[in-house]
Amino acid sequence: MARILIVEDDRNTLSGLVEILLEEGYAVQGAHSAKKALKLLAKEQFDVLLTDLKMPEMSGMELYERTLTLAPELKTIVMTAYSSVKDAVEAMKRGVYEYLTKPLDLDELFVILEKALGEQSLARENIELRKQVKSTYSFQNIIGKGEAIQRIFSTITKVAKTQSTVLIRGESGTGKELVARAIHHNSPRAGKPLVEISCASFPETLLESELFGYEKGAFTGAEGTKKGRFELAEGGTIFLDEIGDTSESVQVKLLRVLQERQITRLGGTETIDVDVRVITATNRDLEKGLTEGGFREDLYYRLNVIPIVLPPLRDRREDIPLLLDYFVKKISLDNKLPAVSFADKTVEMCLAYQWPGNVRELENAVENAIVLGDGAEILPEHMPFHIGTGAASAAKLDFLKSKGRTFRDKVEFAEKLILQSAIENESGNKSKAAKVLDISLRTMRYKIKKYEL
């Protein structure tokens, strides 16, 4: 039952509002002063604070500011005379949820209350979800309960305590940057900077200046001295994403940093000591780069001290329902939309799909479904079209590859797919589909009945 605290110095107005809201099924407490309201807030939890704006001793705005420390999740609605609307608008700019003008329009009051309570419920659901996920299936926003991801959690915990260089491997979208952040934030360097840079985002010359900085006059446009990312990460961690995309020149300089813990700015001669932990990541086959000459062998062994390999989402399908639940609540909260759920068929479709874009693709698909959906349940048709077709193709391939099926089973399954495709291509016209397949209409009807098409 939603709990509402009403604060109004006019006792008649207060008792009337309490009575009306009690009749509507709310749990209501009344206070005729802000001081009494603060005492109640210190002892009990409320969902909404409905307070008069103009009151003696302490105004509704002062009360609201005091609640920010006592009950930061509380939704505050202020009531004010029409002449003080300007003050109410100013209060909303400072974080008050909504305002109502006196005399109150009860229909408007109920609409605003329900909206506030809906957002409050969603926020608390999300907090509870995050607590649950964090305690059981999460490590710094990496979600998963399967054996593969639990091994990653264990590795992160061990590695974070050390100063070792880490190389994170995995396909795009598997969460390599989340692992890097988890290592840093659980390490002795957590209070120092975590500096992230995508090596593929910069051309060679610009990447060097970004990493190592430059002196005034080092190149055209270098009008002053600039510190590089290694200097900015002093005492902390630098995360070099897409390390496999670096040039020979950059690789040589990175090798020196790892060996000597020193850098030299572009255009400079002074060596600068750096105390930085290095974490790198790539989705490339570095071993192939070694044999083809695109990646230095000595740098590879310097980077690959502690390898962490992230599995693609298709190899940890047991985590998909948990990720769906996590993302739907997170995205709904971020967009201030009502909570929705996934239909069983939608979950089955997601489990069948291969997810080439991994967790990132899954999150984007959930956001697409929530924003474009039109109900309390996400149906298969609300998901991006390619996921449904991809899941169907994967399911068909799995059937044909399965060892537990006889040759006859597979032939009949393939025949059924051919018939379905022909009928769909001819917009349901079975006569035309029979002609395309070069079979009689009688045979077509027999097959349709046999396969229940």
Going by pLDDT thresholds of 50, 70 and 90, the confidence category of residue 135 is very low
Are 63 and 82 found together in one domain? yes
Give a yes or no: residue 137 inside a domain: no
Task: Tell me: cis bond preceding 380? Omega within 30 of 0 counts.
Answer: no
Are 265 and 328 found together in one domain? no
* pLDDT for 261: 94
- Contacting residues for 121 by C-beta, under 8 A, at least 6 apart: 339
- Contacting residues for 115 by C-beta, under 8 A, at least 6 apart: 98
Going by pLDDT thresholds of 50, 70 and 90, the confidence category of residue 385 is confident
Pick left, alpha or beta for residue 91 (phi over 0 → left; psi -120 to 50 → alpha; otherwise beta).
Answer: alpha
Are 319 and 205 found together in one domain? no
Are 382 and 441 found together in one domain? no
Asked if 6 and 51 touch (Cβ cutoff 8 Å), the reply is yes
> What are the phi and psi torsion angles at 93 (to 5°)?
-65, -25
Range picked from 278-287, 352-361, 418-427, 435-444 for highest mean pLDDT: 278-287
Look at 413 and 251; give whichever has higher pLDDT.
251
Are 260 and 326 found together in one domain? no
Q: Which CATH number belongs to the domain containing residue 161 in this structure?
A: 3.40.50.300
* E-strand stretches of 176-276: 194-198, 237-241, 262-264, 271-273
Are 61 and 195 found together in one domain? no
Are 60 and 117 found together in one domain? yes
The per-residue pLDDT for range 179-210, each reduced to its tens digit, is 999 999 999 999 899 999 999 999 887 899 99
Are 147 and 210 found together in one domain? yes
Q: Which CATH number belongs to the domain containing residue 324 in this structure?
A: 1.10.8.60
Asked if 213 and 265 touch (Cβ cutoff 8 Å), the reply is yes
Look at 314 and 125; give whichever has higher pLDDT.
314
Distance, CA of 402 to CA of 306 (rounded, Å) = 37
- Name residue, tokens 């051919």: 418
Task: Calculate the CA 223 to chain-centre distance.
Answer: 40
Instruction: Kindly tell me the number of DSSP H helices and DSSP E strands found in the chain.
Output: 19, 16
Distance, CA of 102 to CA of 10 (rounded, Å) = 13
What burial class does residue 193 get, using C-beta atoms within 10 Å of its C-beta: 0-12 exposed, 13-18 middle, 19+ buried? Answer: middle
Give the whole-number percent of the chain exceeding pLDDT 70.
91
Residue 160: domain span:
143-309
Are 156 and 264 found together in one domain? yes
Give a yes or no: residue 36 inside a domain: yes
Q: How many domains does the chain have?
A: 4
Going by pLDDT thresholds of 50, 70 and 90, the confidence category of residue 405 is low
Pick left, alpha or beta for residue 242 (phi over 0 → left; psi -120 to 50 → alpha; otherwise beta).
Answer: left
Q: Centre a 10 Å sphere on the Cβ of residue 345 and count the other Cβ atoms it contains.
A: 12
Are 381 and 425 found together in one domain? no
Kindly tell me if the per-residue pLDDT of 70 is higher than 80.
Answer: yes
Distance from the first to the final alpha carbon of the chain? 50
Asked if 170 and 310 touch (Cβ cutoff 8 Å), the reply is yes
- Contacting residues for 434 by C-beta, under 8 A, at least 6 apart: 440, 441, 443, 444
Kindly tell me if the per-residue pLDDT of 328 is higher than 80.
Answer: yes
- Do β-strands 277-282 and 166-169 pair in parallel, antiparallel, or remain unpaired? parallel
Going by pLDDT thresholds of 50, 70 and 90, the confidence category of residue 217 is confident
